[in-house]
Amino acid sequence: MHLKIVQAGDPVLRQPARPLTAAELASAEIQQLIELMRETMRDAPGVGLAAPQIGLPLQLAVIEDVAEIEATERKPVPFHVIANPRLALGDETIEFFEGCLSVEGFQAVVPRARAVRVEALDHRGSPVSIDARGWYARILQHEIDHLGGTLYIDRMRSRSFSTARNAARYLSGIPIPELLAKLDGKQASDS
Ligand code: NI
């Protein structure tokens, strides 16, 4: 069984989610919710899923990545839960294409901090501190944005917004700075 993922335009994606107590996290209800979120994320498939995306305004997200891609500093991340996260961004920004299960079928280039530190509660309600870099840092920023009612489209390079199919067709394999310049029409106009 898996849950329905709500799409952009649903008000729950735009409202700040509420924190959970440690006791709530330990409850059978939330443990069951975490299991359902895990199945829903795997089934989608996705590398992260935040509770607002299944219609619940709670500060809870699940994350898991199995891919390894050098160009995007992507490495496998074991399944884990973050609740009530606080995010600290590193200074360096990097840009890559990103998508969202709640903005189905689209992608855009989104600038994100290359490294982050996250203080959160884990699935048992215990405090954890996560130092993340590369794609994992991007996933954390994306999921934590969901808990504050923010979507990647609020941060994207809007001219790079594309269907996933057209991104693969026209935009892949081009270095991001070159692509952004091209999309801005900078190469076409020399006057
Ligand atoms: Ni998303």
pLDDT of residue 100: 98
Centre of ligand 1 to C-alpha 188, Å, is 34
Q: What value does the mean pLDDT take over residues 11-38?
A: 96
Using the predicted structure, report yes or no on whether residue 120 has a pLDDT greater than 80.
Answer: yes
Name the residue among 15, 41, 150, 33 with its Cα closest to residue 87: 150
Centre of ligand 1 to C-alpha 49, Å, is 7
Contact in structure between 144 and 53 (CB atoms under 8 Å): no
Using the predicted structure, report yes or no on whether residue 189 has a pLDDT greater than 90.
Answer: no
pLDDT of residue 57: 98
24 given a catalytic annotation:
no
pLDDT of residue 186: 75
Task: Please state, in angstroms and rounded to a whole number, the distance separating the CA atoms of residues 18 and 87.
Answer: 16
pLDDT of residue 187: 59
Q: What value does the mean pLDDT take over residues 173-184?
A: 91
Residues whose CB is under 5 A from ligand 1 (ion)?
A: 100
pLDDT of residue 82: 98
Helices (H) and strands (E) in the chain, counts: 5, 8
Name the residue among 18, 95, 83, 114 with its Cα closest to residue 57: 18
Contact in structure between 17 and 58 (CB atoms under 8 Å): yes
In tens, the pLDDT along 83-102 reads 999 999 999 999 999 999 99
Task: Please state, in angstroms and rounded to a whole number, the distance separating the CA atoms of residues 103 and 28.
Answer: 31
Using the predicted structure, report yes or no on whether residue 188 has a pLDDT greater than 80.
Answer: no
Centre of ligand 1 to C-alpha 25, Å, is 22
In tens, the pLDDT along 123-171 reads 999 999 999 999 999 999 999 999 999 999 999 999 999 999 999 999 8
pLDDT of residue 70: 92
Task: Please state, in angstroms and rounded to a whole number, the distance separating the CA atoms of residues 130 and 13.
Answer: 25
Q: Which two tokens stand for residue 47?
A: 């590398």
- pTM for the complete prediction? 0.94
Q: What value does the mean pLDDT take over residues 72-93?
A: 97
Domain boundaries defined on the chain: 11-92+111-157
Using the predicted structure, report yes or no on whether residue 71 has a pLDDT greater than 90.
Answer: no
Task: Please state, in angstroms and rounded to a whole number, the distance separating the CA atoms of residues 49 and 102.
Answer: 10
pLDDT of residue 106: 97
Q: What CATH number is given for 11-92+111-157 in this structure?
A: 3.90.45.10
Cβ atoms within 10 Å, residue 86 = 10
Percent of the chain with pLDDT over 90: 91
Q: Catalytic pick from 64, 95, 104, 143?
A: 143
Centre of ligand 1 to C-alpha 154, Å, is 12
Q: What value does the mean pLDDT take over residues 104-123?
A: 97
Centre of ligand 1 to C-alpha 61, Å, is 10
Q: Which of the two residues, 103 and 2, has the higher pLDDT score?
A: 103
